[in-house]
Structure 1
Amino acid sequence: METLFFEVHINASPEKVWNVLWNDITYRQWTTAFTEGSFYQGSLEEGSIVKFFDPENNGMYSRVEKNVPDREMKFLHLGEIYDGVEQPQDWGEATESYILEETEEGTLLKGVIQTPVEFKGFFEDRFPKALGIVKNLSENQL
């Protein structure tokens, strides 16, 4: 398992950044860095299962481990979805966390990913692009 750390300074409040991260319309925008047409279904309440899809109904499903509004969201990835069918995976503690820290200038958004080695390159390539889109949306939306 690899642990990856990413961060970006955003000139916007944690509340605004949080809204950009999890609002359906803006979520679809920033996740284009991973897969064009990405969206999620389900509740983001702690303990809930959320499904992340591409336009072909493929993706992954995860449990919301932590949801502290405007501060932290953490997912435990449980498996993949192919043609809408869940397939459990033995990924261990594969997690994805978003941590928002208020600063004098706005928000420090941190991403912490625990991933199997085979996905390391994907995250190293795509996650900084995704955070850049979150930054742009957060700083430039009305």
Structure 2
Amino acid sequence: MKKIKFTVVIGASKEKVWNVLWNDDTYQKWTSVFSEGSKAVSDWKEGSKIHFLDANNNGMFSMIDKRVENEIMNFKHIGNVKDGVEQPLDAATEIWSGSMENYALSETDGITTLKTEMDIIEDYQDFFNEKFPLALDLVKKMAEE
């Protein structure tokens, strides 16, 4: 498992950046970079499950490991979802089950720094190194509007 990190500086309050990240409408816009029709299904509370899905209701299920309003959102990825149904763990899934995806926001004088950190298997490193900066550019653009 590898850890990749990205940072973006945004000319907006951390509250505005937080809303862009986790509001259903804007979440779907910035995550469309990864897969058109992306969505998240959750109550967004710490300890709750969350389904990260594509347009066909396939994706993965995770747990919101830590949530501090306007500051921290950490996901612990668990397994796959197929046709909207959580799948039992198999050998391929167990390789990445338990991996983390973390978001941290800090603000100084109305400028927010968004730091992201994600555990990934090597097969997906090139994909995320290409797509994640594009997604964060969309977050920045929407937050600065």
Counterpart for residue 80 of structure 2: 80
| Aligned-partner Cα distance in 2 for 1:121–1:49 | 28
Q: How far is 1:122 from its partner?
A: 1.6
Match of 2:127 among 122, 126, 130: 122
Give 1:112's aligned amino acid: E
- Following TM superposition, where does structure 1 have runs of at least 4 consecutive aligned residues deviating by more than 2 angstroms? none
| Aligned-partner Cα distance in 2 for 1:44–1:115 | 23
Counterpart for residue 45 of structure 1: 45
2:9 is equivalent to residue 4 of structure 1 = no
Secondary structure of residue in 2 paired with 1:132 = helix
| Aligned-partner Cα distance in 2 for 1:94–1:121 | 17
Superposed CA offset, 1:6-27 (max 9, x none): 0100000000000000001100
What's the TM-score once normalised by structure 1's chain length? 0.94
Match of 2:98 among 86, 93, 101: 93
Do the aligned residues in 2 keep the contact of 1:94 with 1:116 (CA within 8 Å)? no
Do the aligned residues in 1 keep the contact of 2:16 with 2:143 (CA within 8 Å)? yes
Distance change >3 Å, CA 92–CA 84, structure 1 → 2: closer
Do the aligned residues in 2 keep the contact of 1:34 with 1:126 (CA within 8 Å)? yes
CA RMSD of aligned residues (A): 1.1
Do the aligned residues in 1 keep the contact of 2:30 with 2:138 (CA within 8 Å)? yes
Give 1:133's aligned amino acid: L
| Aligned-partner Cα distance in 2 for 1:122–1:78 | 20
Gaps of 5+ in 1: none
Q: How far is 1:124 from its partner?
A: 0.7
| Aligned-partner Cα distance in 2 for 1:59–1:92 | 13
Q: How far is 1:103 from its partner?
A: 2.1
The percent of aligned pairs where both chains have the same amino acid is 45
Q: How far is 1:123 from its partner?
A: 1.1
Secondary structure of residue in 2 paired with 1:33 = coil
2:142 is equivalent to residue 137 of structure 1 = yes
| Aligned-partner Cα distance in 2 for 1:107–1:137 | 13
Secondary structure of residue in 1 paired with 2:51 = strand
Counterpart for residue 109 of structure 2: 104
| Aligned-partner Cα distance in 2 for 1:81–1:111 | 24
| Aligned-partner Cα distance in 1 for 2:8–2:18 | 14
Gaps of 5+ in 2: none
